[in-house]
Amino acid sequence: MSTTTPAIRSVKARAVIAPISRPVKNAFGVIEAAPLVLIDVETDQGITGRSYIFAYAKLTLEPLVHLIEQIGRDLAGKAIAPFDLVAAMDAKFRLLGWQGLVGMAVSGLDMAFYDALGQAAGRPVAELLGGSPRPMRAYDSYGVVDPIADEKDLKRSLDQGFRGIKIKGGNSDTANDERMVKGVRKLVGPDVALMIDFNQSLNPAEAISRIARLSPYDLHWVEEPVAQENLQGLAAVRRESSISIQAGENWWFPRGFAEAIAVGASDFIMPDLMKVGGVTGWMRVAAQAEAASIPMSSHLFAEASAHMLAVTPTAHWLEVLDLGRAILAEPLQIVDGSVTARGPGLGLSWNEAAVAKYSV
């Protein structure tokens, strides 16, 4: 183990479209495969820090790759001190703003920086942050489902030990959402947490009405019922809802969470490592959640999120939507419905043959 802090030698980004185990249908379309950007931060110690981000659409892959590599050129030679590097990137993009592709690039780099530090220390990131890897309770994340056609998949999730299942609604009318929720609840039984995600597809009045219709089915939470930026609308829905409201995957950086918490926008929060500012941003939001006594879950990136939840005082649920399986040398492991962080670093390594196969 080196006694000196590694410095950035170079940054490489690669685009892939990775197959996923099942399509994810939401209110706005279907995700058939995962457009990912793989980030490699080469250091002067011969260590490579790794992370990946989810580009949502193929058309954003090329600009993300270019942006990440350009930022990397500006950071070459700097010591990997994430607090200092985030401050430098904040200054660089202050006038432009951090949302969108810039925020995704900055967050992805921050994750890779921590992976490099963990590898240099020979320790998992959870340990670098003062905790230790432990099994984190996970839920299996689906899109819109048909309780009959998807029965085999849903039962497989239960066989893996998942004690939570999330499905998506809002792509049709209230009656169809109720039929789906009723069918899945009957299939999974009363002891499994059932969540529904509307992906911002409703207005506040629609959301209040639809939630009332679904209230008999013991939903654990309703996720993003209205537009993520409509904090007052979310707060209004929360006041009228008999079901807990979950949000946060599309709030940007710690300030976005501070504004949402201040207006009481949701009962639960779920940062996305790619939008919250990576490891650095997550830790700042975790402190806010602890101060406000708000349960905090993860969104995507289960491999890295398992490290973060292990050091989150109000840790709630880890989402499993296994986007990286096809390109990872050691894919995510589900044991009794839980995920335990692996190291050193974030525990990520690429299956280079698969990366070449799915490269775009």
- How many other C-beta atoms are found inside a 10 Å radius of the C-beta of residue 325? 15
Under 8 Å CB-to-CB from 176, ≥6 apart: which residues?
none
Q: Beta strand pairing status for 29-43 and 8-26?
A: antiparallel
Q: Does residue 66 carry a catalytic annotation?
A: no
CA distances in angstroms from 59 to 38, 254, 283, listed in the order given: 16, 27, 31
245 vs 256: CA distance, rounded Å: 17
Q: How many helices (H) and strands (E) does the chain have?
A: 13, 11
Tokens for 275, please give them: 């939008």
Instruction: Report residue 25 as tokens.
Output: 């249908």
Distance of CA 197 to the CA centre of its chain: 14
* Catalytic position from the list 166, 220, 275, 299: 299
**DSSP 8-class letter at 155:** H
Among residues 166, 168, 220, 275, which one is catalytic? 168
d(CA 221, CA 299) in angstroms, rounded, equals 14
Q: Is 220 a catalytic residue?
A: no
Nearest partner of 245 among 263, 67, 255, judged by Cα: 263
Terminal CA-to-CA distance of the chain, rounded, Å? 36
If DSSP states are collapsed to H, E and C, what string results for 193-214?
A: EEEEECCCCCCHHHHHHHHHHH
Give catalytic residues, as residue numbers: 168, 299
